[in-house]
Amino acid sequence: MHFTYNVEGGNFTRAGYASSEIKKILKQLNVDLAIIKRTVVASYEAEVNIVAHAYSGTIFVDITPETILIKFVDEGPGIPDIAMAMKEGFSTATSKVREMGFGAGMGLPNIRKNVDNMNITSEVGKGTVLELTMYLQ
């Protein structure tokens, strides 16, 4: 099964839409609730990162009997130092984003804690690609 969602940078009213849709699909497929919870936490954090930091993005979801693969591709400023961005509390969010309750610097660390495999690549001035894997078996 393949699904694609477009994410608009800066549109916090729709932040979480794709993650909610992913949750519905996984429930319909009778995926273990613990896996659903971990997947939704990770996908929500990644989706909000696109909204908060990028101009736009696309989420690609591929569900097989063995895995849930979710790829987040954004067009944005990129991440100059991925190792630093992985540290709890580190954030480049604007004050406006923080005033809305986002940008605490826990997104990438929370994603890493909830997925079975995570790969992130980024090019400054172009954007970021985040690939997440959850194993179903």
**Structural domain boundaries in the chain:** 2-135
Query: Please, are residues 122 and 79 in contact by the beta-carbon 8 Å criterion?
Result: yes
Query: What is the per-residue pLDDT for 45?
Result: 94
Structure tokens, 49: 């990162």
Instruction: Provide the pairing of β-strand 56-63 with 67-75.
Output: antiparallel
The rounded distance, in Å, linking the Cα atoms of 104 and 70 is 23
Amino acid at 52: A
H or E element that contains 112 = helix 107-114
**Cα angle value 101/131/99 (rounded, 5°):** 10
Whole-structure pTM value: 0.92
The segments of the chain whose pLDDT lies below 70 read: 100-101, 103-105
The tens digit of pLDDT for each residue in 16-38 reads 999 999 999 999 999 999 999 99
Query: What is the per-residue pLDDT for 101?
Result: 66
CATH annotation of 2-135 = 3.30.565.10
The rounded distance, in Å, linking the Cα atoms of 11 and 29 is 29
Query: What is the per-residue pLDDT for 96?
Result: 74
The rounded distance, in Å, linking the Cα atoms of 93 and 39 is 23
